[in-house]
Structure 1
Amino acid sequence: MEKGTVRNIFVAATYAATLLLGLILGQNYVDQQGSSPGNSLIPIGLSDNSYKVQQVLDLLVNNYVDSLNLDSLENGAINHIVSHLDPYSSYLLPNASKSQSEALDGTFEGIGLEYYNLNDTLMVVGLMRNGPAEKVGIKVGDKILKIDTTVVSGRNTPLQTVEKLIRGKKGSTVDLFVVRNTDNIIKTFKLRRDQVSVSAIDVAYILQPTVGYIKIRRFGLKTAEDFKQSLIELKKQGATNLILDLRDNAGGYFHIAIRLANEFFSDKKLLVFTKGAHEDKREYFSEGNGDYASGKLVVLINGRTASASEVVAGAVQDWDRASIVGRRSYGKGIVQEQFDFLDGSRINLSIAQYYTPLGRSIQRAYKANWSNMIDYASMYRGLWVLDTAFVQGQLFKTLEGRELYSGGGITPDYIVPIDSNALSMLYQEIVGSNYLEEFVYERFTKKSPAYSVENFIQGYHLPIQEYNDFISYLNTRGIAVSAKKKNDLLGLIQSDIEAIVARYYFGREAFFKVKNRTDPFIEKAIDVLKPMNIAS
């Protein structure tokens, strides 16, 4: 099957806020497809007016007073058409399409390091295990001065430029010139780019005796496989209860969410069904061979839990398989389908809605917002308005008698109160400013930690003097913090700094382990598990 006719059902929400919108219709698409059989968009454009878009483009290219770029015109027209369909259908240009695929597939071609631009110098802040950078001896804390022949330190080099310099085809080489704090000598490393894999499992570990914890960032191609392996390891360590953290997981591949939900059932259960104006009802069932079909289960959600995550949460809630803890989820119940073009661009088109096993639709209401169409510069931003108010829909009852409602996301069985300090404008400004990272990288990266990873995670707490210094640091950068706010934000900011320090010294898993020490969602989940006869 040609690339242009490939279809891949998925639920996409994670990247919708940052990617372009659009849809291509008319003769240009037909020309690309030729007479190839299979699924395509050709039937959409068979009316007498189907060639208007192409005719207008031809008219402009052949008659307009100035020369025009046909590709830009086409992309603009595509953008405009699909931006009026719904908030989720999107048109991705080749680079954006490739980035989305890499993020969902969990693989890319590169050297396997994370960097941070600190005072116009690229500092290595993370290394992929067994990646090219780690293998040649690059260390966290190294500062990158030059990539091949391009100096990137002290030049205000755009991160997009750095990305292009570092990434490349598998097997190609790149030279990095770095300086290390310990010896202040410039070192040269020749790296051979390779396929780098990034798991969608942020962390999986024993939180308490018999209680396993798994946090999933997205539903990519290998998420179900990685989850299954994590379950095996946790069971070996004595886990008979599980906390599944889907907070901030905004979706991914629909069929992967189905595979993961299957792990929680020992018999054939309806997990979800879909239907749309042009899509017949389709039902998706568990296979009855779940690896975690009998243990106690708590699922954590919040307002950024969406799409594929809501499929999983809805299935286990409807069947009384799990307790849902947290905040009401986002409410995206739209199934999308990918249509790939020969040039690498892609359409993510909404084709159906999905419903939980009981028949609940969790899609929040949305409507077009035409008020911003006067300003051309912002006409593609904020076109759709999502209804954030919860309106109870139809009532459903589970087999155990729990009352559940349709519409507006998944409502938890146990609600964690909102932390007003975390939602405050001041805290959001601090988090969004990157000053937390800058403070840590400027102060905590000069020498190795005096703690082992286990001791750090269990016992390290930011000294109050360091917190006071951070508040002073903010004041010098134009963020004023009153005495009251300083006291209110103490716990939040201490936890943030501790977690960033842990990530720098010990890696990504340490970050989440430190954050979980004082997490109210985790505390509530443990509390919910207590009456379930957890073995001590």
Structure 2
Amino acid sequence: MKKRKIYYPLFLALAVAFGIFIGSMLDYPQKNAALLFSNNSQEAKIKRLINYIQYDYVDKVDTDSLLDGTIRNILSKLDPHSVYIPASEHDALAESMNGEFVGVGIRFFMHNDTLTVTSVVKDGPSAKAGVEAGDRILIADNDTLYGKNLDSNFIIKKLKGEPNTKVKIRVYRKYKDTLLNFTLKRGTIPLVSVPSYYMLTDTLGYIKIDKFANTTYNEFKTAMNSLLKKNMKRLVLDLRGNPGGYLNIATEIIDEFLEDDKLIVFTKNKGGKIEKTFATSKGDFENNQIYVLIDETSASASEIVAGALQDNDKGVIVGRRSFGKGLVQQEMELGDGSAVRLTVSRYYTPTGRSIQKPYNTKDGKSYYNDRLERYRNGELTHGDSIKVVDSLKYITPKGKSVYGGGGIVPDIFVSIDTMAYFGRFHFGPIQDFVFEYLDNHRETMNHWNVNDFIENFDNDEKILNEYLSLFDDQSKIAVESIPYIKLYIKSLIARDLFDENVFYQILNEDDQMLQKVKQLESQVDYLEP
């Protein structure tokens, strides 16, 4: 296997930063952009300076780019979550939180300079037309979609578009060695935010929420209703890796668990105005047990959920201290398609604690690299390494101590699984391997059904050994990480063969937090503070 440079700490930091950035889009009414720069001397000064540069400066300058940089610089002096969104990025970010987009319904990547379908969305335009995973899309409306240095924006533009418009594609199907033509009618494709729900035991259900988008509550209710019909009495709500999203969606979900008139969250702005949100009578799971899984990348709306339940003595929070974002953003348009998301208030959990962690505007990197620092100081492996401040201690109605000042501290600590963590460094190479394996065994693999796959796939470890054989020096692969590598191979193949739900069912098989929940299930007094 070719060796590649993989800068995991950098990728991890960027992924966390981008996730928290997405998650900072909370649902507050927009204000007119004119309110951002009112007609005053400051506005006149900025306009005059731009005019001087545009008309009198000795060299030609892209004033749009210059202004973008100036806005970013201004916002960087405020807090880590007040951000500028250029017009070129605004639609894509908004789309990710709307929960849907218009397209042809495929997941793809560039394989050997060719656009290759890795999976098709069930009941989407491509699935209805007969496009299959493994197909190479060569041409779309007479434009070639293969070759070196092909711009990804060009590809997306060719496949996305207006509802009910058509695109003609020509594909190569490798396992049949044939060229096929399809006409696809673009349609609305869901961006799923509840990727997995299933029964862990006869009475214990599991729901994972990736983010709080416009469609998340409806997805959540669909999952809840499905599990309730399967006799679910208790629920695991998995918010690990969830960067947040819309506040009103999070409070709707919390309302399913809290009794009438219980305080969910309150916000306070610069003028001291307080807005409180209370539970209503609509909850379907108010009298049942809930476990909430969080980790160091659970942020914003995820922390609102965990904090509201913890402060109301509802259920058990399991995992590691959450990210620590307690600031609320409001989007304000700038008139040219761009916008700023400006922090306008802080939110507080029902006991009155702010969970915003400290930040230094001069060092944004350390703010998002906090996960790495937590690993270094032992917090991710030892619960007693979590630093709490006694002056920020609050007491719940049942007498449990909770703390503000930086994230939600779980009721039950679960250490990071270091072998799983380092095994994930193989995720990139494993994805390449999985594609190649499926590509060469497509006809055989398509005959698997879900239950047989979960029970019997690669029990003889031939596929695992085929992957390991690609490494010249296998002694550098930690023996303890091999079971996780096997699990990742199986789960990634399951995702491409079936769906995200099966992917998570397999990935969660030996999950330490879920094992802890099952252990708690066997105890009696775990709810007592």
Distance 1:304 1:347, change over 3 A: same
Listed as ranges, the gaps of 5+ residues in structure 2 are 1-15, 25-29, 375-385
What secondary structure sits across from 1:268 in the alignment? coil
Percent identical among aligned pairs is 32
Q: Which residue of 2 aligns with 1:152?
A: 145
Number of the residue aligned with 1:51? 44
Task: Report the more deviating stretch, 521-530 or 45-54.
Answer: 45-54
Q: How does 1:462-481 map to 2 (within 5 A)?
A: 463-475=460-472, 481=474
The 3 A distance-change label for structure 1 pair 470 and 306 is same
Read off the aligned partner of 1:294 and give its amino acid letter: N
Change (3 A) 1:532 1:212: farther
Change (3 A) 1:18 1:189: farther
Residue from 428, 448, 451 that aligns with 2:448: 451
Match in the other structure for 1:112: 105
Report the structure, 1 or 2, having the larger helix content: 2
Selected match of 2:246 from 253, 268, 273: 253
1:62–1:99 distance in 2 versus 1, CA, 3 Å: same
Q: Which whole-Å CA distance do the structure 2 matches of 1:40 and 1:155 have between them?
A: 42
Q: Residue type of the partner of 2:365?
A: G
How many correspondences in the alignment?
A: 487
Q: Tell me, what secondary structure is at the counterpart of 2:195?
A: strand
Pairwise mapping of residues 49-448 of structure 1 onto structure 2 (< 5 A)?
49-278=42-271, 280-369=273-362, 382=365, 391-393=387-389, 394-424=392-422, 427=423, 429-431=425-427, 434-445=428-439, 446=441, 447-448=443-444
Shift of 1:522: 1.3
Shift of residue 333 of structure 1? 0.8
Q: Could you tell me how far apart the structure 2 residues matched to 1:317 and 1:464 are?
A: 43
Contact conserved, 2:77 with 2:362, CA < 8 A, in 1? no
Q: What are the within-5 Å matches in structure 2 for residues 504-519 of structure 1?
A: 504-519=496-511
Separation in 1, partners of 2:340, 2:510: 42
Partner of 2:380: none
Bigger mean CA offset, 181-190 vs 414-423: 414-423
1:473 match: secondary structure:
coil
**d(CA) in 2 for partners of 1:275 and 1:106?**
29
Q: CA deviation at 1:14?
A: 7.2
Are residues 362 and 17 of structure 1, via their aligned partners in 2, closer, same or farther at CA, if it must alter by over 3 Å?
A: closer
User: What is the deviation of 1:533?
Assistant: 10
Structure 1 residue matching 2:470: 3-state secondary structure: helix
Distance 1:429 1:54, change over 3 A: farther
Q: TM-score, normalised by structure 2?
A: 0.86
Per-residue deviation, 1:97: 1.2
Q: Deviations over 1:267-306 (max 9, x none)?
A: 2110011113245111111113201111110011111100
Q: Within 1, Cα distance between the matches of 2:271 and 2:521?
A: 43
C-alpha offsets along residues 316-359 of structure 1, whole Å, 9 cap, x if unaligned? 11111110111111111111111123322121111111111011
Shift in CA distance, 85/38, structure 1 to aligned 2, threshold 3 Å? closer
1:524 correspondence with 2:516:
yes
Instruction: State the 1:179 CA deviation.
Output: 1.5
Q: CA deviation at 1:43?
A: 6.3
Aligned to 1:5: none
| Worse-matched range after superposition: 447-456 or 382-391 | 382-391
8 A Cα contact 2:19 2:243, kept in partner: no
Residue of structure 2 equivalent to 1:500: 492
- Cα deviation digits, residues 375-403 of structure 1 (max 9, x gap): xxxxxx73867766654231112222221
Q: Counterparts of 1:42 and 1:189 in 2: how far apart (Å)?
A: 50
Q: Retained in 2: the 8 A contact 1:331–1:410?
A: yes
CA distance in 2, matches of 1:128, 1:114: 8
For residues 184-236 of structure 1, what are the alpha-carbon distances to aligned partners after superposition, in whole Å with 9 as ceiling and x for unaligned?
A: 11001111112222221111111210111110110001111221122111111
For the aligned residues, what is the CA RMSD?
2.5
